Chain A
């Protein structure tokens, strides 16, 4: 049973380009969460999604960032017109339905975005 799969592991983008980060949850998990980790800092919540629904996007920057979790396929975190401040590690976590908040979280290995 594969864990949470994130790709790519490393992504380099020039300022102004778009970055697409993918996350495939664990088998049987229907809840996906995205977190951002700046260098030497803790993880900060960005968005919580269920299939075809954004449940909580209170941590997402209002501009340039969007997320989706379609009925089929992985969850996508999209960053348009990247800037140097977007350089960070982006982690996805998944959990099964029916568990209390925070329980059953499994994190992926992250995508390290570098904007040059």
Chain B
């Protein structure tokens, strides 16, 4: 089955700096790559996603890049703020699939 590796598991950054989280996946049939933010005691919330026919997507301070050849994709958060502190999960979906396969998560701490 699909295997998704996410790094790092924890990330501490100074407010205003950038944060980068990387995920690799194993199944080349994967074609949809969402990122979720999970705050304490809440369910995951979609923050950005990318499809396999796109290499990069940006939404304000958040961007995602995808390298299908290397089978990895990354989340970039610029100008981090304390409210960005949360656990972030990458996920992948196969074209013929119906479920999300999640990475192990990255706990991001933004220090004021």
Contacts and interface: CB of A to CB of B under 8 A. Distances in A.
Contacts of B4: 42
A114 to B, nearest CB: 14
Contacts of A44: 102
A41 B38 CA distance: 12
Interface residues on B, range: 20 to 34
Contacts, number: 63
Contacts of B101: 45
Nearest to B101: A45
Interface stretch (A12-20, A70-78, A79-87, A102-110): A102-110
Contacts of A69: none
Given A101-B95, A102-B93, A91 B43 contact: yes
Interface residues of A, number: 24
Contacts of A43: 44, 89, 100, 102
A57 B41 CA distance: 26
Interface of B: 4, 6, 32, 34, 36, 41-46, 89, 91, 93-105
Given A101-B96, A107-B44, 17 more contacts: A4-B43, A40-B105, A41-B104, A42-B103, A43-B100, A43-B102, A44-B102, A45-B99, A45-B100, A48-B98, A102-B34, A102-B100, A107-B43, A109-B41, A109-B43, A110-B42, A110-B43
Interface of A: 4, 33, 35, 40-45, 48, 55-56, 59, 91, 93, 100-103, 105, 107-110
13 contacts: A4-B43, A33-B99, A40-B105, A41-B105, A42-B4, A45-B101, A59-B99, A91-B44, A101-B95, A102-B91, A102-B98, A102-B99, A102-B100
